[in-house]
A and B are shown apart, each in its own frame.
Chain A
Amino acid sequence: MPDQAQKSRPLAPGSGGGGEGPSTPKVDKPNVDDLLKRMRKVDPDQAKRYRQRTGQ
Chain B
Amino acid sequence: MKRPLIQFGLETEIGIYRDGAAKLDVVSESIALVRAAAEQGVLMRWDYESEDPHADMRGFHVQTLRQDADEAEYAVEDATRGMSFAEIKSDLVLSNGARFYNDHAHPEYCTPECSTLEELVAQDRAGERILMACAQALSAREGGAVRLYKNNTDFCGHSYGCHENYLLPRSLPWETLTQNIQAFLVTRQVFAGAGKFAIEAEDRFVSPGFQISQRADFFSELQSVDTMQRRPIINTRDEPHANPEVFRRFHVILGDANMSPFATRLKVGATALVIEALLRDPKRTFPRLADPLGALTGIARDPWFRWELRLAEDQASTALEVQRAYLEGVKQVCDLGTPAKAGLVADWEAVLADLAVDFRRCRNRLDWVAKFCLLSEFQESHRVAADDLWLRSLDLEYHRLEGTEGLYYGLEQAGAMLEVPDEAATRLAMREPPRTTRAYVRGRCVQKFGPQIASAQWDHITLRGRQGPIRISLLDLFAPEDILRYGKAVDAACSPDDLRPLATLAS
Chain A residues within CB distance 8 Å of chain B: 1, 3, 5-9, 11-13, 17, 20-23, 25, 27, 30-32, 34-36, 38-40, 42-56
Assess the B17–A55 pair: CB atoms within 8 A. no
Contacting residues, chain B, for A32 (C-beta < 8 A): 374, 377, 410-411, 414, 416
Q: Do A27 and B160 have beta carbons less than 8 Å apart?
A: no
B156–A54 CB distance below 8 A: no
Question: Which residue in B105, B207, B298 is a CB contact (below 8 Å) of A3?
Answer: B207
Which residues does chain B contribute within 8 Å of A3, judged by CB atoms? Answer: 199, 206-207, 209
11 A-B contacts, Cβ less than 8 Å apart? A1-B301, A13-B303, A21-B305, A22-B305, A30-B364, A47-B389, A49-B17, A50-B149, A52-B105, A55-B158, A55-B160
Establish whether residues B388 and A1, one from each chain, have CB atoms under 8 Å apart when the complex forms. no
Taking each of A12, A42, A56, which has the highest tally of chain B beta carbons within 10 Å of its own beta carbon? A56
Q: A38, B390: Cβ atoms under 8 Å?
A: no
Q: Contacts A25-B361, A55-B159 known; A11 to B414 CB distance under 8 Å?
A: no
Whether a CB of chain A sits under 8 angstroms from the CB of B85 is no
Please measure, in the bound complex, the distance between the C-alpha atom of A53 and the C-alpha atom of B214, giving whole angstroms: 16
Contact B407 A39 (CB under 8 A): yes
Residue of B27, B304, B380, B392 touching A20 (CB-CB under 8 A): B304
**A55 cross-chain contacts in B, Cβ below 8 A:** 13, 103-106, 158-161, 228
- Complex Cα–Cα for A3 and B210 (A): 11
Residue of B nearest to A22 (CB): B358
On chain B, the residues within 8 Å of A12 by CB distance are: 372-373, 376, 380
C-alpha gap A41/B380 in the complex (Å): 16
Q: How far is the CA of A42 from the CA of B27 in the complex (A)?
A: 26
Residues on the A chain within 8 Å of B298, using CB? 1
What distance in Å separates the Cβ of A22 from its nearest Cβ neighbour in chain B? 5
Pick the contact of B415 from A8, A21, A30, A52 — CB < 8 Å? Answer: A30
Taking a contact as CB atoms under 8 Å apart, the answer to whether A52 and B160 are in contact is: yes
Q: Count CB-based A-B contacts (< 8 Å).
A: 171
B208 nearest in chain A by CB position: A6
Stretch at the interface among B125-133, B394-402, B472-480: B394-402
Return chain B residues, CB-CB under 8 Å to A40: 382
Chain A residues within an 8 Å CB radius of B335: none
Least CB distance from A51 to B in Å reads 5
A43 vs B301: C-alpha distance when bound (angstroms): 26
B389 in contact with A44 (CB, 8 Å): yes
A43 to B394, CA, bound (A): 8
Chain B residue numbers with a CB within 8 Å of A20 are: 304
- A residues in contact with B357, CB < 8 Å: 22, 25
Closest-CB distance, A45 to chain B (whole angstroms): 7
Residue of A nearest to B361 (CB): A27
Task: Encode contact with A along B347-383: 1 for CB under 8 Å, 0 otherwise.
Answer: 0000000000111110110000000111011111110
8 smallest CB-CB distances across A and B, nearest first, come from A55-B160, A6-B209, A30-B416, A47-B392, A25-B358, A53-B105, A44-B390, A1-B301
**Cβ contacts under 8 Å, B415 to chain A:** 30-31
A contact residues around B160 at 8 Å (CB): 52, 54-56
For B190-231 the 0/1 string (1 means CB < 8 A from A) is 000000000100110011111000000000000000011100
Once A13-B304, A22-B358, A34-B414 are accepted as A-B contacts, the answer to whether A53 and B104 lie under 8 Å apart by CB is yes
**Interface residue B26 (Cβ < 8 Å from any Cβ of A):** yes
Min CB distance A8 to B, Å, is: 7
Chain A residue at smallest Cβ distance from B160: A55
C-alpha gap A1/B16 in the complex (Å): 31
Q: A6-B208, A42-B394 known; A47 and B414 CB under 8 Å?
A: no
A53 touches B158 (CB 8 A): yes
Q: Which residues of chain A have C-beta atoms less than 8 A from B199's C-beta?
A: 1, 3, 6
Q: Compute how far the CA of A36 lies from the CA of B384 in the bound complex, rounded to whole angstroms.
A: 13
The answer to whether A56 touches B305 (Cβ under 8 A) is no
Q: Which residues of B contact A1 (CB under 8 A)?
A: 199, 297-298, 301-303
Q: Give the CA-CA distance A51 to B57 in the complex, in Å.
A: 34
The distance in angstroms between the C-alpha atoms of A12 and B210, with both chains bound, is: 10
**How distant is A13 from chain B, measured CB to nearest CB, in Å?**
6
Report which residue of A27, A34, A40, A50 has the largest number of chain B beta carbons within 10 angstroms of its beta carbon: A50
Residue in contact with A52 in the complex, picked from B154, B361, B382, CB distance below 8 Å: B154
Flag whether B155 is at the interface (Cβ < 8 A): yes
The reply on B15 being an interface residue by CB < 8 A is yes
Give the chain B neighbours of A38 by CB distance below 8 A.
405, 407, 410
* Bound CA–CA A31/B374 (angstroms): 11
Q: In the complex, what residues of B have CB within 8 A of residue A49's CB?
A: 17
Contact B360 A54 (CB under 8 A): no
In the docked arrangement, what's the CA distance between A42 and B364, Å? Answer: 23
List residues of chain B with CB within 8 A of the CB of A48.
Answer: 389, 393
Q: For residues 152 through 168 of chain B, which have their beta carbon under 8 Å from a beta carbon of chain A? A: 153-161, 163
B154 touches A7 (CB 8 A): no
Binary contact track B281-305/A, C-beta < 8 Å → 1, others 0? 0000000000000000110011111
Task: Please state if A27 and B13 are interface contacts (CB–CB under 8 Å).
Answer: no
